[in-house]
Amino acid sequence: MARVAVVTGGTRGIGQAISVALKKKGFRVAANYGGNDTAARQFQADTGIPVYKWDVSDYAACEKGVASVTRELGAIDVLVNNAGITRDGMLHRMTKESWDAVMHTNLDSVFNMSRLVIEGMRNRKYGRIVNISSINGRKGQMGQANYSAAKAALLGFTKAVAQENAARGVTVNVIAPGYIGTEMVAAMPKDVLDTKVLPLIPVGRLGTVEEIARCVTFLADEEAGFITGACLDANGGQYMA
């Protein structure tokens, strides 16, 4: 029977590409989303992938969501923590609300979802958790103290949980994408993109959502069992650690 994969923020952008790529690899995919019902319905119609709406920053909502997916598709073997938001601003102007919103959605959600699937994975002695960080969690970014902090925290979380669960057949890895051609990046002024972003990327272009999705399917594969606690930088050479 096909393994079940859950992708948070799985109906748009990078998450959409991940959901589609996992389905093509034979997984039974559940795409979580938080708010855009129209986009989610269109995604489901286009792909045939079932969608599930819940707020990943809310632990009780995650409990209900995970229970619903498990009941309808089966035990969750793969979790991709992709959901994320930005609330940019320099620290001396950043509001507590902006800090909290990013921390709740980008970091608390990873605890919520991972905590709710980890016991089942340990009991079945198999699991794959892939966390989506960012180049800005690796190097920091002016105007993104909240986002950079949350994405950097995923690196420590990944390494700790990888150590805890390696002997139980559960791998935990993180991917740190660079600038990817999503709607958000595409909305940048062309002169800013051409003069301040692309010149910093050695390969000379933005990444694609499909390239990030291929990173996920690689780490989610049964044959990737010797890779855990790793960070896969997919940034065109912009940042090398």
CA distance 3 to 166: 19
Overall residue count recorded for the chain in this entry = 241
Kindly report the CA angle at 107 between 78 and 186, in degrees rounded to 5?
A: 85
Report, as residue numbers or ranges, the catalytic residues. 147
What is the token pair recorded at 104? Answer: 């709740």
Beta strand pairing call for 51-53 and 170-177: unpaired
Q: Which of 164, 101, 84 is nearest to 129 (CA)?
A: 164
What is the token pair recorded at 93? Answer: 């102007």
174: buried, middle or exposed (CB in 10 Å: 19+, 13-18, 0-12)? buried
What is the token pair recorded at 232? Answer: 């896969």
Beta strand pairing call for 4-7 and 76-81: parallel
